[in-house]
């Protein structure tokens, strides 16, 4: 009582459950004795003794309820009389408020939810299901007097689960609907309707997330880091990061630039194959940077000859978004691109301030920079992803509004060699140790 457990003798506890199963109806002492003591044969002159046994248990119950306050026992267990062929019979009735009896509160909450709008219904149904403890009336499970209330409560719970799933779906919260649907299938493995709902939910989630493999919201910030399988140029809602060499070449001739590289695809996918359009935008953007050196025609026979510092970032406008051209490698005069972990780290550290300044606060999608022809062999795929994530989380300390989402786009062959569990572990730890802490593997 008052939050403290009260011990009842087994017969008294069984009598209480019998009154609960009556759902507010009065029950005669004769019927209580038959159901609780499971009497099968009535002996002569036994009725008075039986009635006394019932009265003793009723008195024990009232004393237990009185622990919540004087008079509670008499209020909660009411005594009445019922004329019958055997004379006047004593009756007992459990009179509990909704707040005092879980099954009544459960019934009310589900009923209210069925008449409510989805957001309110979800709240009410979740509150109702929190009251559920295994199966109803387990102390008398299988007995005839308990079958009707048990059946009613069980069906009401099934309704609550089904309505909770529908409510989450109506609110677009498929991730919250999924465990409820899985629970229904676990409890009802032969129910085709439950299986169909679960299959439909899984299909919706797959369609919503597409190739998304990992998503983590950084603690304290409304900033997501996601890893997706797919094509960088299919990320139409995001700004893009494309790696360049220090000469910012654009002509994909399979000598200076490979047509299969991200840099090579950029002209075809976003500039209709006209590399001079990209050249013009790069030239305007590079106007604010001081060149590092200019190669002679004799030293460098193909490609551009003006070099810019590694870490130079040019925000190229493409419609309503930006392509961040990031110089993270040096193109030798032998036309081989070379870069290393320090070059990549420096370039990424300079990328994020440019994204914050020019990115229009859109999501930013970045490929696995360093895994291609720049030949950063010192770092494996997992370390490359971690370096991208680390520098991004560090940048948030200086400017928490860099972008709402960092999206790392992996090709299938890169994904097979990337340990996303290590990336997830780093992201979880970043919330605990602060965004500026680097992963040990990169030091």
User: What is the spatial distance between Cα 148 and Cα 152, in angstroms, rounded to a whole number?
Assistant: 6
The DSSP code sequence of 236-279 is: TTSEEEEEEETT------SSSS-TTSHHHHHHHHHSTT-HHHHH
Question: How many C-beta atoms lie closer than 10 Å to residue 331's C-beta?
Answer: 24
Q: Which CATH architecture has domain 102-209?
A: Alpha Horseshoe (1.25)
pLDDT value, residue 394:
93
Q: What class has domain 213-431?
A: alpha beta
Q: What is the pLDDT of residue 437?
A: 43
Q: Do domains 10-94 and 102-209 have the same CATH topology?
A: no
Token pair in block for residue 280: 């013009």
Mean pLDDT of the chain: 86
Most confident of 12-16, 183-187, 390-394: 390-394
So where are the chain's domains?
A: 10-94, 102-209, 213-431
Instruction: Identify the pLDDT of residue 429.
Output: 86
Question: Using N-to-C axis directions, what is the helix angle for 144-170 and 10-21, rounded to 10°?
Answer: 60
The token pair at 150 is 């048990």
* pLDDT, greater one: 117 or 301: 117
Task: Specify the pTM.
Answer: 0.60
Q: What is the CATH number of domain 10-94?
A: 1.10.10
Which range has highest mean pLDDT (50-54, 200-204, 214-218)? 214-218
Which tokens go with 370? 């360093």
Instruction: Please count the other Cβ atoms lying within 10 Å of the Cβ belonging to residue 409.
Output: 24
The radius of gyration computed from the CA coordinates of the chain, to the nearest angstrom, equals 36
CB neighbours of residue 336 within 10 Å: 13
Whole-number pLDDT of residue 86: 65
Could you give phi then psi for residue 21, rounded to 5 degrees?
-65, -25
Tokens of 287: 């106007």
Q: What are phi and psi of 394, to 5 degrees?
A: -65, -40
pLDDT number for residue 228: 93
Note the pLDDT tens digit of each residue in 109-144. 999 999 999 999 999 999 999 988 777 666 666 677
Q: What pLDDT is stored for residue 176 in this prediction?
A: 92
Give the count of beta carbons closer than 10 Å to the beta carbon of residue 117: 11
pLDDT tens, position by position, 30-42: 888 888 887 666 6
Cα 198 to Cα 47: distance, rounded to the nearest angstrom: 56
Burial of 236 (0-12, 13-18, 19+ CB in 10 A): exposed
């Amino acid at each position: 009582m008052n939050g403290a457990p009260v011990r009842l003798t087994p017969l008294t506890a069984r009598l209480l459950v019998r009154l609960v199963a009556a759902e507010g109806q009065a029950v005669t002492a004769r019927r209580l004795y038959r159901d609780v003591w499971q009497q099968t044969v009535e002996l002569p002159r036994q009725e008075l003794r039986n009635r006394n046994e019932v009265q003793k248990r009723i008195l024990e119950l009232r004393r237990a309820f009185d622990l919540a306050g004087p008079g509670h026992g008499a209020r909660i267990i009411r005594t009445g009389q019922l004329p019958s062929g055997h004379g006047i019979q004593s009756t007992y009735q459990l009179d509990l408020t909704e707040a005092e009896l879980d099954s009544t509160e459960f019934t009310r909450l589900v009923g209210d939810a069925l008449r409510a709008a989805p957001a309110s219904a979800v709240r009410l149904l979740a509150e109702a299901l929190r009251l559920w403890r295994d199966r109803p009336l387990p102390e008398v499970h299988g007995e005839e007097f308990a079958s009707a209330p048990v059946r009613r409560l069980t069906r009401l719970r099934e309704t609550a689960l089904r309505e909770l799933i529908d409510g989450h779906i109506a609110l677009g919260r498929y991730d919250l609907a999924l465990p409820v649907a899985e629970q229904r299938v676990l409890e009802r493995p032969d129910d085709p309707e439950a299986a169909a709902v679960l299959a439909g939910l899984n299909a919706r989630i797959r369609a919503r997330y597409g190739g998304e493999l990992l998503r983590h919201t950084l603690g304290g910030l409304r900033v997501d880091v996601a890893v997706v399988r797919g094509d960088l140029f299919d990320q139409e809602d995001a700004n893009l990061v494309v790696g360049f060499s220090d000469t910012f070449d654009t002509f994909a001739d399979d000598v200076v630039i490979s047509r299969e590289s991200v840099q090579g695809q950029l002209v075809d996918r976003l500039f209709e194959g006209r590399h001079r359009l990209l050249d013009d935008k790069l030239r305007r953007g590079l106007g604010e940077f001081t060149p590092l050196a200019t190669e002679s025609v004799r030293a460098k026979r193909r490609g551009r000859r003006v070099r810019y510092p590694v870490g130079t970032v040019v925000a190229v406008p493409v419609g309503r978004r930006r392509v961040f051209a990031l110089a993270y490698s040096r193109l030798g005069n032998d036309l081989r691109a070379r870069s290393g972990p320090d070059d990549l780290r420096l370039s990424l550290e300079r990328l994020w301030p440019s994204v914050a300044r020019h990115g229009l606060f859109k999501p930013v999608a970045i490929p696995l920079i360093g895994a291609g022809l720049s030949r950063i062999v010192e770092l494996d795929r997992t370390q490359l992803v971690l370096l991208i994530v680390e520098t991004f989380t560090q940048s948030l300390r200086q400017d928490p509004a860099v972008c709402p989402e960092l999206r790392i786009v992996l090709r299938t062959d890169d994904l097979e060699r990337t340990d996303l569990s290590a990336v997830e572990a780093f992201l979880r730890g970043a919330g605990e140790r602060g965004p500026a802490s680097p992963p040990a593997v990169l030091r």
